[in-house]
Amino acid sequence: MFNRKPHRNKRAVEEPQIDKSRLPVHVAIIMDGNGRWAKQRGVPKVMGHRAGAESLRDVVRYCAETGILILTAYAFSTENWKRPQDEVSNLMGLLVEYLSKEIQELNDNGVRIKSIGQVDGLPSDAYEALMAAEDKTKENKRLTLNLALNYGGRLEILEAVRKLAHEAHEGRLDPASIDESLFASALYTAGIPDPDLLIRPAGEFRLSNFLLWQIAYTELWITPVLWPDFRRSHLEQAIVDYQCRERRFGGRKS
């Protein structure tokens, strides 16, 4: 499926191939550009979000097929509540629709649904659909799909600080014992390895309040492709580029 045959000419050069022995364990994606995609086509924004759901479907399938273990998708931020009410309602409705329509295929492909963020702040129907999807897929181990919903990186850090401060105030935690590992265990992503690769579509050069603690040494890959046009071929290109990089984590090559 992933072996491309070179063109039948003497100068043909085979494109770089993914080394499946060096796949990123955790890929994170900021799903951006739905609105611009819709505007370019003169269609309602909801059509852009719906096209973006198709992109997520294709990327999830690719990750499951290829052997990537964790995919985190930034679906709805704490700041997104500022958008027009009809757009927010459409997004929440699309979330319910995605979870209900995709649950069987997700199960068949061994995909586990998890969520990060203040998901209890979602509308009741969206929250219930999310909890049902998490429960139905909890035994799957092929791929974990983390949906970041009502998520904000700064808020996540503040919540972790409050949690640890409360434990220290109650005498259940020595402040001197707080290290990076303990702090990470208080985040929404507790138990999840930090992303190896963060993909930012739509040509934006900002993190948009996403996984601010976790991406300290994550490799960034930015593409002008709008999220609704993003497909597995783009993800494959990102992984090939990732595998060409040298990750030193602040150290120096010996």
> In angstroms, what CA-CA distances link 48 with 5, 10, 89, 93?
34, 42, 14, 14
Catalytic residues: 32, 80
